[in-house]
Amino acid sequence: MLPLFILIPLTGVVLLNLPFAGALRKRAFALVVLLSAMQAAVVVVHPAGFWAETSLMDRFLALDLKAGQLSLVMLLSIGIALFAAAMVGHCTFRDDRQRSHFVSVLLISLIGMNGAVLVADLFSLYVFLEVTSVASFVLIAFNRDLRGLEGAFKYIVLSAVATVLMVSAVALLMMMAGGTGFGQVKAALEAGQGATLARLATGAFVCGLFIKGGLVPFHGWVLGAYSAAPAPASVLLAGIATKVTGVYGLVRLVVTVFPASETINQVLMLVGAVSIVVGALAALGQRDVKRLLAYSSISQVGYIVLGLGCGTPLGIAGAIFHLFNHSVFKSLLFVNAAALEGQLGTTEMDRMGGLGQKMPVTGVTSVIGVLSTAGVPPLSGFWSKLVIIVALWQAYHHAYAVIAVLFSLVTLAYLLVLQRKVFFGKTSDSLAGVREAPREVVAAALVLAGLTLGIGLLFPLLVHTFLLPMSGVF
Amino acid sequence: MTTDFVLLMAMVLAVMVTVMTARLLWSAIGLALASAVLAALMFRLNSPVAAVFELSVCAGLIPAIFISAIGLTSRLNPEALAKRWRHKLLKYGAMPVIVILVVWALWQLQVPLTFVAPPPAVEQDVRNVLWNQRHIDLLGQMSILAAGAFGVVVLIKGAKRE
Residues A213, A304: contact at Cβ < 8 Å? Answer: no
Range of the domain at A447: 261-474
The total of structural domains in chain A comes to: 1
Q: Which residues of A touch B139 (CB under 8 A)?
A: 6-7, 10, 63, 111, 115
pLDDT along chain A (474 residues), means of 10: 87 87 83 90 78 62 79 92 94 86 93 93 93 94 90 92 93 85 88 75 92 91 90 93 91 87 91 95 92 94 94 91 94 95 89 88 94 93 94 94 95 93 83 86 95 91 72 54
Q: Write out residues 54-73 of A within 8 Å (CB-CB) of B.
A: 61-65
Is A300 a domain residue? Answer: yes
Count other C-beta atoms under 10 Å from residue A369's C-beta.
Answer: 28
Is A12 a domain residue? Answer: no
- pTM, 2 dp: 0.88
Q: Which residues of A touch B159 (CB under 8 A)?
A: 144
Is A129 a domain residue? Answer: no
Q: Write out residues 108-147 of B within 8 Å (CB-CB) of A.
A: 132-137, 139-144, 146-147
Per-residue confidence (pLDDT) for residue A470, from 0 to 100: 63
Q: How many CB pairs under 8 A join A and B?
A: 78
Is A34 a domain residue? Answer: no
CA atoms of A148 and A1, how far apart (whole Å): 38
Q: Which of B133, B147, B153 sits opposite A108 (nearest CB)?
A: B147
Is A320 a domain residue? Answer: yes
Mean of per-residue pLDDT scores for chain A:
89
pLDDT in tens, A272-329: 999 999 999 999 989 999 999 999 999 999 999 999 999 898 999 999 999 999 999 9
Q: Which residues of B touch A144 (CB under 8 A)?
A: 154-155, 158-159, 162
Is A112 a domain residue? Answer: no
* B158: contact with A, CB 8 A cutoff: yes
Query: How close B123 gets to chain A, by Cα (Å)?
Result: 13
Per-residue confidence (pLDDT) for residue A471, from 0 to 100: 60
Residues B63, B28: contact at Cβ < 8 Å? Answer: yes
Is A185 a domain residue? Answer: no
Q: Write out residues 92-151 of A within 8 Å (CB-CB) of B.
A: 101, 104-105, 108, 111-112, 115, 119, 121, 123-124, 127-128, 130-131, 134-135, 137-138, 141-142, 144
Q: Which of B132, B136, B155 sits opposite A119 (nearest CB)?
A: B136
Is A452 a domain residue? Answer: yes
Pick the residue from chain B with its C-alpha nearest to A9.
B143
Q: Which of A61, A135, A142 sits opposite B135 (nearest CB)?
A: A61
Residues of chain B with pLDDT under 70: 1, 112-125, 158-162
pLDDT in tens, A153-196: 999 999 999 999 999 999 888 888 888 889 888 888 888 755 77
